[in-house]
Amino acid sequence: MKMLPKMNKVELETKLSKGQYVLFFTADWCPDCRFIKPAMPEIEANFKQYDFIQVDRDENIDLCQELMIMGIPSFVVYKDGKEVSRFVNKDRKTKEEVTSFLSAAK
């Protein structure tokens, strides 16, 4: 999974302007993020239509505020530069919940 460099919302939307992406918002210190990380390679393998990008919440704190990411881990789906779905809250997320969310993303 690629790491997103520090950027703002306009730069992000330009970067994601073509294609389908899943942004995975996380932080090293977050226990719920560490809980889901081992499942991420399998989730990525099951959703090959998406490019997965990891976003370090601490590195991109301003971007997280612009996007209203108020809890981690969180997932946001973009298609052709526009947000189409989000799974954002401060709760622990299971592999099954993330898989269900991505299956329902339009």
Counting the structural domains of the chain, the total is 1
Catalytic: 33?
A: yes
In a domain, 3, yes or no: no
In a domain, 9, yes or no: no
Which of 12, 16, 23, 30 is the catalytic position? 30
In a domain, 26, yes or no: yes
Which of 16, 22, 33, 102 is the catalytic position? 33
In a domain, 5, yes or no: no
Catalytic: 30?
A: yes
Residues spanned by the domain of 50: 19-101
How confident is the model over 23-80, as pLDDT tens digits?
Answer: 999 999 999 999 999 999 999 999 999 999 999 999 999 999 999 998 999 999 999 9
- The 3-state secondary structure of the chain reads CEECCCCCHHHHHHHCCCCEEEEEEECCCCHHHHHHHHHHHHHHHHCCCCEEEEEECCCCHHHHHHCCCCCCCEEEEEECCEEEEEECCCCCCCHHHHHHHHHHCC
